[in-house]
Amino acid sequence: MRFATYTTGGATYYGAVGDDGMIPLSPNFAHWPSLRDVIAADGLHELALAAQGRSATHTDITYQIPVPNPDKIICVGVNFPDRNAEYRDGTEAPPNMSLFPRFPGSFTGAGQPLIRPPESEKLDYEGEIAVVIGKGGRRISEADAYDHIAAVTLCNEGTIRDWVRHAKFNVTQGKNWDRSGAMGPWLVPFTSAAQLDDIRLTTHVNGALRQDDRTSRMIFPIRRQIAYISTFTTLVPGDIIVTGTPTGAGARLDPPRFLKPGDVIDVTAEGIGTLRNEVADEG
């Protein structure tokens, strides 16, 4: 069962993804206004039961990011071996992971355009897997980390490359342009380690394969990410961790190949699905 947040007829719903559209569930769960509330209440199983035997009634929909207004979106940088080598600085992977925040407004839903701003033509793609925290906690052990995941989804962690280097220490400016990235299209409930430990992640641009790797090759596995991040900040239900992108982003090609209006990006992961977006200029 997959669950999504979407709009239709001027209203926002969440529901189960059917073969021919969406099965609206939010009208039946008014005490849970959003999927973030469902997750906080450990209610995804209850949604699945409510969707059984029902047909899709919403067919003309627009996907939104699956978890609206998460408390935190934390992204892990340089998390695949070949990605570290792309920096060509002669250094080994660091002992601790690089992290940065993204704001909810920097993401759009599946099928909606990634926005290239007038200030830069260097919009780049980064296909990633994102995990949604279901059970909060502080100083979570690696052994217990998977018990804290409610669901998984996909992310295109779009980046304005020249703005990443506007300051000495951080990348926040280049990572948070409005609607420069995407998340979705849906949540897949997390039930076993096999959903994350060794799955293939790919990114295609206009049908051409650009990124291709497996989660088993992550420098910092997802269990460690949850343990490390929860050391310094309390994770709460609905928080999202974007777990890192493989080699092959446009900025590291020779010559660099940045996204332009009309380009179509597909981020795909085994067992999760495909996140597709087209690029458009702002305005």
Whole-number pLDDT of residue 94: 79
* Range from 11-15, 58-62, 164-168, 246-250 carrying the lowest mean pLDDT: 164-168
Do 133 and 200 belong together in one domain?
A: yes
Query: Considering the domain boundaries, does residue 81 fall inside one?
Result: yes
Q: Is the pLDDT of residue 250 over 70?
A: yes
Query: Considering the domain boundaries, does residue 114 fall inside one?
Result: yes
Do 127 and 56 belong together in one domain?
A: no
Do 87 and 32 belong together in one domain?
A: no
Do 135 and 258 belong together in one domain?
A: yes
Do 238 and 127 belong together in one domain?
A: yes
Q: 19, 39, 63 — which closes off a domain?
A: 63
Give Cα 164 distance to the centre of its chain: 19
Q: 44, 63, 82 — which closes off a domain?
A: 63
Do 19 and 102 belong together in one domain?
A: no
Do 156 and 243 belong together in one domain?
A: yes
For residue 91, what is the domain's CATH number?
3.90.850.10
Strand order in the sheet with 200-205: 114-116, 273-281, 264-269, 200-205, 208-214
Residue 112: name the closest of 152, 63, 173 by CA: 63
Q: Give the global pTM.
A: 0.96
| Structural domain count of the chain | 2
Do 247 and 221 belong together in one domain?
A: yes
Do 58 and 79 belong together in one domain?
A: no
Look up residue 273 and give its amino acid.
G
Q: In terms of residue numbers, what domain contains 51?
A: 3-63
**48-82 pLDDT, tens digit each:** 999 999 999 999 999 999 999 999 999 999 999 87
Q: What is the band of 90 on the pLDDT scale with cuts at 50, 70, 90?
A: low
Query: Considering the domain boundaries, does residue 68 fall inside one?
Result: no
Do 49 and 166 belong together in one domain?
A: no
Contact status, residue 121 vs residue 222, Cβ threshold 8 Å: no
Do 193 and 236 belong together in one domain?
A: yes
Local structure of 108: helix, strand or coil: strand
**225-234 pLDDT, tens digit each:** 999 999 999 9
Q: What is the band of 165 on the pLDDT scale with cuts at 50, 70, 90?
A: confident
Do 100 and 149 belong together in one domain?
A: yes
Q: Is the pLDDT of residue 118 over 80?
A: yes
Give me the chain's average pLDDT, please.
95
Q: 21, 37, 63 — which closes off a domain?
A: 63
What residues contact 266, with CB distance under 8 A and at least 6 apart? 202, 203, 204, 274, 275, 276
Q: Is the pLDDT of residue 83 over 60?
A: no
Query: Considering the domain boundaries, does residue 153 fall inside one?
Result: yes
Q: Give me 85's structure tokens.
A: 């080598």
